[in-house]
């Protein structure tokens, strides 16, 4: 299971990088500028309709794959939580700050440290 999880995380990471890069390249191949957070990004492809058509197909495949893999990933986390009753889902969630206990001068615990 660890190998499957590692491969899934690798695939998610690659797709998270590829989908926007493919979209950027498609836009450039269609002759459009790409802006990100108000900045004009440099063109990474020349205007070319054939290239744009091909890249649009790859962009769509990558985007749908990312969505499907993300759903499978979420379902696997829920399966671990509700079927296997292990701590996989809990390990993925943000940790809450636990109250700190400090010792008073008289040696007793003071409860929550503020």
Flag whether pLDDT at 107 surpasses 60: no
Q: Are 87 and 75 in contact (CB under 8 A)?
A: no
Q: What is the pLDDT of residues 47-92, one digit of tens each?
A: 999 999 999 999 999 999 999 999 999 999 999 999 999 988 888 8
Residue ranges of domains in the chain: 2-94
CA-to-CA distance for 114 and 112, rounded, in angstroms?
Answer: 6
Q: Are 52 and 28 in contact (CB under 8 A)?
A: no
Q: The pTM is what?
A: 0.76
């Amino acid at each position: 299971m660890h190998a499957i999880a590692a491969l899934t995380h690798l695939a998610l990471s690659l797709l998270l990088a590829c989908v926007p890069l493919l979209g950027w390249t498609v836009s450039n191949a269609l002759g459009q500028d790409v802006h990100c957070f108000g900045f004009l990004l440099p063109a990474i492809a020349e205007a070319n309709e054939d290239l744009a058509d091909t890249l649009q197909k790859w962009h769509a495949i990558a985007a749908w794959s990312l969505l499907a893999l993300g759903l499978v990933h979420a379902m696997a986390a829920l399966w671990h939580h509700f079927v296997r009753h292990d701590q996989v889902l809990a390990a993925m969630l943000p940790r809450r700050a636990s109250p700190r206990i400090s010792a008073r001068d008289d040696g007793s615990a003071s409860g929550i440290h503020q």
